[in-house]
Amino acid sequence: MRAAGIKVCCGGIVGMGESRTVRAGLLVQLSGLDPHPESVPVNLLVQVPGTPLHGVEALDGFELVRTIAAARIMMPKSVVRLSAGRTEMSDELQALCLHAGASSIFLGDRLLTTPNPGDSSDHDLLDRLGVSLRVSSATLRPEAPVHTV
């Protein structure tokens, strides 16, 4: 794929009731790719009523931060993306994730099939953190641009 100029974007969903060991295993698998993926999205499960994982115990915020930090350490050149589930996160948790190693967010009010914080909410948070945005050249859909912080 890379020989054809295709960049690898590979990550996972956390908060599905998995253990810390299982989350670490995901990162070990991803960091074992040579070279590492260009993009590693870390998605927090969005519980949707009527789906099999609705009602699963929510992942502790510090576990999410640990996962982001481990991804950054294990794949230092990859863009670690804080992706789905941000509507369930406080500004403080998102800030911790960014400081722990997330270097990108998806900006826009919708991410695939689940809601995402609105532009003004994201801009307010990033302004409060003193973080500037750069639009990624990897943007695939103009209505949900990828921003690197």
- Delineate the domains of the chain, giving CATH numbers in brackets: 2-148 (3.20.20.70)
Give the global pTM: 0.81
Whether 109 has a pLDDT exceeding 90, the answer reads no
Q: DSSP per residue over 95-134, as a string?
A: HHHHHHT--EEE-SSEETTEE---HHHHHHHHHHHT---E
In percent, how much of the chain has pLDDT > 70?
85
Q: pLDDT tens across 67-93, in order?
A: 999 999 999 999 999 988 888 899 899
Helices (H) and strands (E) in the chain, counts: 4, 8
- List the beta strands (DSSP E) in the chain: 12-14, 39-44, 79-82, 104-106, 110-111, 114-115, 134-135, 146-148
- With bands split at pLDDT 50, 70 and 90, how would you rate the model's confidence at 143? very low
Q: Token match 């900006």: residue? A: 107
Compute the average pLDDT of residues 17-44. 94
